Amino acid sequence: METVMLVVVGILVMVATYLILSRQVLKVILGTAILSHAAHVLILTLGGLKKGNVPLIDDSDGPYTDALPQALILTAIVISFAVTAFVLVLAFRTYRMNGTDDFEALRGNIDD
């Protein structure tokens, strides 16, 4: 199962890299969001699929599952959502001010 998840992470990173290298602002924002999701899946995969009891103190012996990867992913999802929302607002404001979302036009390299 970990191999399939690593292949999915690779595909997500490839798609994110393609989108980040584009000229439109919204594609770059979408690429960074996909890249953060790839990082979340990677952390979850590296945490491993462990079967065991919940990590509570009681009399049972045996393996316990580690809740740290899930806690890290939950924190990263909240942070990436906030950053993506902020960058989307900045992109919308840039589009309203300049009338374009093309990076070359925003730099002034394309004469319209």
Amino acid at 91: A
71, part of any domain: yes
**Is position 58 within any domain?**
no
103: Cβ contacts below 8 Å, ≥ 6 apart: 23, 24, 25, 28
Q: State the residue range of the domain holding 71.
A: 2-52+64-107
Average pLDDT over residues 7-29: 94
Calculate mean pLDDT across residues 49-55.
70
pLDDT at 59 over 70: no
Q: Is residue 83 part of a domain?
A: yes
**Domain assignment of residue 15, yes or no:** yes
Query: What percent of the chain lies above the pLDDT cut of 70?
Result: 87
How many domains would you assign to the chain? 1
Model pTM score: 0.80
Our CA angle for 2, 65, 67, nearest 5°, is: 90
Residues in the chain: 112
- The CATH code of the domain that includes 30 is 1.10.287.3510
Determine the pLDDT at residue 72: 86
